Amino acid sequence: MAASKQQLELIKRQLGREPRGLVDIAWQSAEGVPAVLQMRSLVDDQPFPTLYWLSSKDLYQAIAEIETAGEVKRIEQQLETDEELREAHLADQQRYVDLRWQMMADTDRQRIAELGFTELFDSYGIGGIRHWDKVRCLHMQYAYHLAVGGTAIGALLDQRYELDKRQLSL
């Protein structure tokens, strides 16, 4: 969805700076508050770490508290023992890689090949993680969850912390 002038101003306030590599708004609240941004895969000839960037300060703060409380380790431990969750998470990782290539501008795809980054983009998953059975950043996991309408880790966060029920401020 194309960002309005007001949304672009809000995004600048959310980030505290001009966004670099912004393609579009990937998800917004029912009130039109941008919460997830779709980013270019290559910015200034450098790989951008994620296709989806969580811009909502409300969600960012809530997830920061969840991470500080040790949730990443708990999820990683659950991934080791819960085969269904693990398989769903690995499928989400592959879907992410495929989606990033699919949504990438042709010029970025060509430049990535010229710079020798193709293997990196084939093997690095959500948030730029190489080991797909781990969780690097819940912010990026949740941004992806919102943008695509559901992921295993995002659903787990909604179930445990009701992030999907939070009101997003302007």
State the DSSP H helix or E strand holding residue 124, giving kind and residue range, or none if neither: none
What would the two tokens of residue 78 be? 């659950």
Q: 3-class DSSP state for residue 82?
A: coil
What would the two tokens of residue 75 be? 């999820």
pLDDT higher than 70, residue 52: yes
pLDDT higher than 90, residue 61: yes
- Reported as a pLDDT band with limits 50, 70 and 90, residue 7 is very high
Domain locations in the chain? 5-165
Q: 3-class DSSP state for residue 43?
A: strand
pLDDT higher than 70, residue 1: no
The pLDDT of 98-102, averaged and rounded, is 97
The pLDDT of 83-105, averaged and rounded, is 97
pLDDT higher than 90, residue 2: no
Cβ contacts of 84-89, under 8 Å, gap ≥ 24 = 85/152, 85/156, 86/133, 88/151, 88/152, 89/132, 89/133, 89/151, 89/152, 89/153
pLDDT higher than 90, residue 92: yes
Model confidence pLDDT, tens digit, residues 112-146: 999 999 999 999 999 999 999 999 899 999 999 99
